[in-house]
Amino acid sequence: MKSLLESGDAEKLLAASINGELPDERGRFGPFGGRYIPETLVPAFERLEQGVRKFLHDDDFQKEFRAELHNWVGRPTALTPAPTLSARWGCDVWLKREDLAHTGAHKINNAIGQALLAKRLGAKRVIAETGAGQHGVASAAACARVGLPCTVYMGALDMQRQAPNVDRMHRLGAEVVAVESGDATLRAAIDEAMRCWVSDPDGIYYLLGSAVGPHPYPWLVRELQNVIGEEAREQMLRLAGGLPDAAFACVGGGSNAIGLFYPLLADTQTELFGVEPGGRGPGLGDNAATLATGRPGVLQGSYTMILQDDDGQVQETHSISAGLDYSGVGPEHALLQAIGRVNYIMASDEEALDALGELCEAEGILTALETAHAYAAAKKWAANNPGKRILIGNSGRGDKDMPTLIQYPVSARK
Amino acid sequence: MSAHESVSSALRAANDAGRPALIPFITAGYPKLEDFMDVLAAVSDVGDVVEIGVPFSDPMADGMTIQRSSHEAIKNGVSLRWILEQLSANRDRIKAPVVLMSYMNPLLAIGYDELAKRALAAGVCGFIVPDLPFEESHDLRAALESQGLGVVQLVTPATPAERLQLLADASRGFLYAVTITGITGGDGGLPDDLAAYLDRVSKVSPLPVCAGFGIRAAGDVANVGQHAAGAIVGSALVEVLERGEDPAAFLRSLRD
């Protein structure tokens, strides 16, 4: 994979990333990213990109977005010290609490930002896709807030795994469409949402839920999510007495992780760890660890790392966490791996369940199964790095995972 | 004559014979792997150019019929390498020029230079790549054109005039005019302003223009044929194969 970069490119690309020069005008993060879409969508994507360029950093938009983050989302979210985990792990552990944001996860930052943008772009209705359902709930809530009808595409398998979130979406006024095709999870839902958009690119705004897909989505989502890292950085300096030695975030598509990492890229004394779902094991189809085990290719509009076979067929994945169960990953993460700024590692289903249990018991926080992967990796790192300061991106709350967690009773696991 | 020129030539020959050209589309290895060459041979006896679908796991521009056929074909073990091997071994059975329709990732998995060489050896004349916009197509076009093959560009009713000219000039073999803003296999009928759209596309294209998406019946082919060089028939033909009916008979019926 390093061969995608020439000698000396890593330093230049890191500098360009820190300076805000990536993606470039073609939507590339170094070799990754771009826009691989049907011709039918080309005019729609050009209008979207122009709209994003016009509004995203416009004072009025930013004022409205920031006001909604404060008044409706509940930002800034807390930075919580974790004294019991700190004592157990021998490190100073701090948690960035996206689970405390409205609707219970970081997804809401992106959803309200894009919903405000959809309104400015004159969309008649919004479509979204969802895996764990958190982005669907966030999209439904944000659309209700700005007054746009919302349709959410969700894999049929994920609908079973995340039944409470399906009900929440309905109550928030969204239509939920079950996607039976493909693997009936997030990837199939994205395919279906794209197909729907192709049918009416003028009237529909596609509210994409992660830092994936064709340009400008990876950039747009990062810009809406980096509030996580901006707040965490400021809070660490103010409350924890300094920047972390290491920061951990779970990575499926990677929006929470890029939101946390992006404002910390220049702080090279902070080691960054993206934690992918190691699932049942290292075999193709047994995990969703795209960066750790995938190869470059084109999936859903972007040149990035993907889980595929030798013929270029994208592979089905497994993770106990529906929100991480995805064969691709945001192209900016592919770059950050290629240039060595972020380490991408794995935590298994079992390790995530153990970490989730420990956090509940130690700090009274039921975290999302996604986030539990970050805790599992942080605990391992702490064992080899005593006395260090650790930041963990607590991306969402675990209530939505109860149908899964009930299958692993506490008594049986003790 | 280069490979992509043989496509244009076959389409023009049909028009010279006083009829619209017919481009049947089949998904390779669907519904049965072992029938692929027989179906292809039968279809190529009637069609002027044949489009073979390379199945892909995430066909974002395709409707349910082609999606289903792709999914089944992958389960049957079809891959781009297998298709090229089959074509190479059976070149003499296929009368019409062949173009492959593939999404990007299977092409990347082989590598562009290798792909171009193998495709030429297999008698393939060009590629239709639905998720490859012109802006990202330079490397693939260069590799294919070095072997005399080309990329067939797609245009749609939403393509602005300046871009239409750019795509028409870049296309090889023919220019693919997507009739509707949507995915393949729609049954909502052809749009009312189809004639004006096809006239507009044909006027700027140095190559024959063939219309696809939503063409299911003889009336559609005749309708399209008044304003374009030919018609591409995909989902309707795949459904014929799915039902176990005779593809050649169906294609002949489109000309009645």
In chain B, the percentage of residues whose pLDDT exceeds 90 is 89
Instruction: Please tell me which of the candidates B58, B136, B182 has its beta carbon nearest to residue A34.
Output: B136
Per the CB < 8 Å rule, is A36 touching B74?
Answer: no
The single-letter DSSP state of residue A30 is T
Question: Over the range A216-253, which residues count as b (16 or more CB within 10 Å of their CB) and which as e?
Answer: bbbbbbbbbbbbbbebbbebbeeebeebbbbbbbbbbb
The catalytic residues of B are 51, 62
C-alpha to C-alpha distance for A94 and A77, rounded to whole angstroms: 13
Return the DSSP state at A39.
G
Q: Give the start-to-end residue ranges of the domains of chain B.
A: 3-254
Residues of B in contact with A298 (CB under 8 A): 103-105, 108, 131
For A2, A162, A223, A225, the CA distances from A289, given in Å and listed in that order, are 18, 21, 24, 22
Which has the closest alpha carbon to A396: A190, A146, A132?
A132
State the first-to-last Cα distance of chain B, in angstroms, to the nearest integer.
32
Encoded amino acid at A34, one letter: G
Contact: A314, B105; criterion CB under 8 Å: yes
Is the Cβ pair B110, A300 closer than 8 Å?
A: no
Q: Number of A to B CB contacts under 8 A, please give it.
A: 110
- DSSP β-bridge partners for residue A178: A154
pLDDT at A4: 81
Rounded Cα–Cα distance for residues A235 and A244 (Å): 11
Q: Which of residues 146-175 of A touch B (CB under 8 A)?
A: none
* Nearest chain B residue (CA) to A197: B182
**Residue in A42, A181, A313 nearest the CB of B67:** A181
Q: What is the pLDDT of residue A2?
A: 47
**Helix intervals (H) in B34-129:** 36-46, 64-75, 80-89, 104-110, 112-121
Sheet of A92-97: strand order equals A79-81, A92-97, A389-394, A246-250, A271-279, A342-348
β strands within A123-170, DSSP E = 125-130, 150-155
- B256 min Cα distance to partner chain A (Å): 31
Q: Counting runs of H as helices and runs of E as strands, what totals does chain B give? A: 12, 9
C-alpha dihedral, A303 to A304 to A306 to A312, nearest 10°: 30
Q: Which of residues 144-163 of B touch A (CB under 8 A)?
A: 153-156, 158-160, 163
According to DSSP, the β-strands at B50-53 and B98-101 are: parallel
Distances (CA, A) of B145 to B117, B155, B163, B216: 11, 20, 21, 33
Q: State which residue of chain A sits closest to B56, comparing Cα positions.
A: A313
What's the length of chain A? 414
Higher-confidence position of B28 and B65? B28
The answer to whether the beta carbons of residues B212 and B179 sit under 8 Å apart is yes
**Top-level CATH class of B3-254?**
alpha beta
What is the nearest CA distance from A286 to chain B, expressed in angstroms? 18
Contact between B61 and A182 using a beta-carbon 8 Å cutoff: no
Q: Which residues of B touch A314 (CB under 8 A)?
A: 57-58, 105
B133 → closest Cβ in A39, A198, A313: A39
pTM of the model: 0.96
Interface test with B, best of A4, A26, A195 (most B CBs within 10 A): A195
User: Could you give the CA distance from residue A210 to residue A221 in angstroms, rounded to a whole number?
Assistant: 6
Q: Which of A107, A255, A302, A319 is catalytic?
A: A107
Specify the long-range contacts of residues A97-101, CB closer than 8 Å, at least 24 apart.
A97/A394, A98/A228, A98/A256, A98/A393, A98/A394, A98/A395, A98/A396, A99/A365, A99/A367, A99/A368, A99/A371, A99/A394, A99/A395, A99/A396, A99/A397, A99/A398, A100/A74, A101/A73, A101/A74, A101/A75, A101/A77
Say whether A129 is catalytic: yes
**A chain contacts of residue B160, beta-carbon cutoff 8 Å:** 43
Task: Looking at the complex, report in whole angstroms how far the Cα of residue B137 sits from the nearest Cα belonging to chain A.
Answer: 9
Give the pLDDT score at B187: 59
Mean pLDDT of B118-140: 97
| Mean pLDDT computed over every residue of chain B | 95
Helix, strand, coil distribution of chain B in percent, nearest 5? 50, 15, 35
Assign A247 to helix, strand or coil: strand
**Does the beta-carbon distance from B131 to A36 stay under 8 Å?**
yes
Min Cα–Cα distance to chain B from A328, Å = 12
- What are φ and ψ of residue A383, in 5° steps? -60, -30
The residue of B58, B100, B132 whose CB has the most chain A CBs within 10 angstroms, and thus the best one to mutate to test that interface, is B58
Chain B residue numbers touching A296 (CB-CB < 8 A): 108
User: Which residues of B are less than 8 Å from A200 in CB distance?
Assistant: 181
Write out A338-349 in H/E/C secondary structure.
HCCCEEEEEEEH
Q: Is B107 on the interface with A (CB under 8 A)?
A: yes
Q: What is the mean pLDDT of residues B3-22?
A: 98
CB-CB: which of B81, B153, B159 is closest to A311?
A: B81
| Chain B residues within an 8 Å CB radius of A153 | none
Separation of CA A132 from chain center = 11
Q: Do B154 and A38 touch (CB under 8 A)?
A: yes
Round to whole Å and give the CA distance between A100 and A76: 9
Higher-confidence position of B184 and A137: A137
- Which among B20, B92, B10, B38 has a CA at the least distance from the CA of B247? B38
Is B212's Cβ below 8 Å from some Cβ in A? Answer: no
Contact B153, B168 (CB under 8 A): yes
Residue stretches of chain A with pLDDT short of 50: 1-2
Two tokens, residue A230? 């901006």
- The reply to whether residue A312 touches residue B106, judged by beta carbons under 8 angstroms, is yes
pLDDT tens track for B63-73: 889 989 999 99
Which residue from A minimizes the CA distance to B83? A311
| Nearest-Cα residue of chain B relative to residue A198 | B182
Q: Using the beta-carbon criterion (under 8 Å), do B158 and A40 form an inter-chain contact?
A: yes
Whether residue A23 is preceded by a cis peptide bond, meaning omega within 30 degrees of 0, is yes
- Rounded to whole angstroms, how far apart are CA atoms A228 and A303? 26
Q: Which residues of B touch A40 (CB under 8 A)?
A: 61, 156, 158, 178, 181-182
A57 DSSP 8-state letter: T
pLDDT at residue B230 greater than cutoff 90: yes
Which pLDDT score, from 0 to 100, does residue A414 have? 63
Q: Which residues of B touch A297 (CB under 8 A)?
A: 104-105, 108-109
Most distant CA pair in chain A, distance: 57
